Amino acid sequence: MIRLFAAVLALLAASPALAEVPITIVIHGGAGALEKGRYSPAEEAAYKAALNAALDAGYGVLEGGGSALNAVEAAITLLEDSPLFNAGRGAVFTYDGKNELDASIMDGATGKAGAAAGLAHVKNPIRLARLIMEKSPHVMMIGEGAEEFAKAQQMVMVRRSYFRTEARWRAYKEALAKEKAKRKGATSLPHEFKYGTVGAVALDAKGNLAAGTSTGGMTLKRWGRVGDAPIIGAGTFADNQSCAVSATGWGEYFIRLTVARDICAQVEYGGKSIAEATTDVIHNRLQASGGDGGVIVLAPNGEYVMDFNSAGMFRAVRRGDRRDAAIYKE
């Protein structure tokens, strides 16, 4: 009997379900034309400091026993508040010189999701996405209707001028001049102006996953264009049975290929590791279609991937004593 009891204890101790969950958070600040030398050492330090601050905000939630959803929201909120990234405060400008913001969030434990697009006055779009998920029967809201819902939820609303930074305004003027010089009314842009996004994926102590993404969209976008960031399955996806993904890149391609969901589907139905699935989607399917960008992916066992087929991607991870932040290809 004693031997049997010991054997049972040993079996339980070895069970993955009862093993300590390695709380983890992975974040990104956008992928694109980030060749080495683009930023000065001081600028690189500023970007990494902002990434690490967001990383610590999210990890602090997890370390205190908080949920993956809370960690994702906390990390992305800080990234939205930074003028360095194309989300929230640092959003790029549309063709008409305005800011239009999008965001989404998904709970891997329940499959619930929330998203908002075309926002102009919501200080933190990721928080609105969460409220849509938890306080409404809907998944996505857009434009004025979404902002009316935000007001009803007593969210912090700001003037349009809040999102205007001098750096983004100069970049807008430069992009507009290049666009008009190329051909009047064109929709194509120099590659360096195309996109940028922020996102986070997290794994909490209960083994639950969550993912979120927020963006100011594509520079000079027109006619209410919406990219992949607020599209569940394209820019954001989370499922405890497979993985959590936040994407960044040329949104039209990510939508067509349902990039975030495809990675998780290959894990769930194809038996692939997250590394194998990410390689197939980002370096084979996406690249073959003409799209570029990257993803952060987190598995239920704590394994993670930060991969991209562009020149670089702002990215960072924290798990236990391990911490890393990077910008360029290594």
Asked whether the predicted pLDDT for residue 307 surpasses 90, the reply is yes
Domain residues for the domain of 100 are: 22-328
Q: What is the pLDDT of residue 77?
A: 98
CB atoms within 10 A of CB 303: 16
For residue 287, with 0-12 CB atoms within 10 Å meaning exposed, 13-18 middle and 19 or more buried, which class applies?
Answer: middle
Which percentage of the chain shows pLDDT scores above 70?
90
Span 212-219, average pLDDT: 96
pLDDT band at 14 (very low <50, low <70, confident <90, very high): very low
Q: What is the pLDDT of residue 34?
A: 87
- Do 261 and 295 meet the contact criterion of CB atoms below 8 Å apart? no
Structure tokens at 161: 């001028």
Q: What is the pLDDT of residue 330?
A: 79
Residue among 27, 11, 111, 39 nearest 294 (CA): 27
Mean pLDDT of all residues belonging to the chain: 91
List the catalytic residue out of 24, 197, 219, 248. Answer: 197
Asked whether the predicted pLDDT for residue 186 surpasses 70, the reply is no
List pLDDT tens digits, range 51-104.
999 999 999 999 999 999 999 999 999 999 999 999 999 999 999 999 999 999
Domain count, the chain: 1
Q: Compare 278 and 32 and report the one with higher pLDDT.
A: 278
The phi, psi pair for 160, rounded to 5°, reads -55, -30
- Do 175 and 193 meet the contact criterion of CB atoms below 8 Å apart? yes
Lowest-pLDDT range of 139-143, 171-175, 227-231:
171-175
172: Cα separation from own chain's centroid: 23
Q: Rounded to two decimals, what is the model's pTM?
A: 0.91
Residue with tokens 């599209």, as numbered in its chain: 231
Residue among 74, 72, 70, 44 nearest 57 (CA): 74
SS3 state of residue 239: coil
- Does some domain include residue 2? no
Q: What is the pLDDT of residue 179?
A: 84
- Does some domain include residue 197? yes
Asked whether the predicted pLDDT for residue 9 surpasses 80, the reply is no
Span 112-140, average pLDDT: 98
- Does some domain include residue 8? no
Span 193-209, average pLDDT: 89
Q: What is the pLDDT of residue 195?
A: 59
Q: What is the pLDDT of residue 64?
A: 97
Active site residue 197: yes
Domain containing residue 318: CATH number:
3.60.20.30
Asked whether the predicted pLDDT for residue 182 surpasses 70, the reply is yes
- Does some domain include residue 283? yes
Q: What is the pLDDT of residue 112?
A: 98
pLDDT band at 20 (very low <50, low <70, confident <90, very high): confident
- Does some domain include residue 5? no
Integer Cα distance of 84 and 136 in angstroms: 32
Helix (H) or strand (E) holding 202: strand 198-203
Asked whether the predicted pLDDT for residue 224 surpasses 50, the reply is yes
Integer Cα distance of 54 and 316 in angstroms: 9
Q: What is the pLDDT of residue 183?
A: 63
Structure tokens at 246: 């936040």
- Do 137 and 145 meet the contact criterion of CB atoms below 8 Å apart? no
Span 235-240, average pLDDT: 98
- Does some domain include residue 168? yes
- Does some domain include residue 9? no
Residues 6+ apart with CB under 8 A from 106: 112, 113, 114, 133, 210, 211, 212, 232, 236, 237, 238, 244
Q: What is the pLDDT of residue 194?
A: 54
Integer Cα distance of 57 and 300 in angstroms: 21
Q: Compare 128 and 9 and report the one with higher pLDDT.
A: 128
C-alpha distances out from residue 267 to 46, 204, 238, 280, 297, Å: 36, 20, 12, 11, 11
Q: What is the pLDDT of residue 2?
A: 40
Q: What is the pLDDT of residue 13?
A: 42
SS3 state of residue 249: strand
- Does some domain include residue 15? no
Asked whether the predicted pLDDT for residue 6 surpasses 80, the reply is no
Q: What is the pLDDT of residue 192?
A: 52
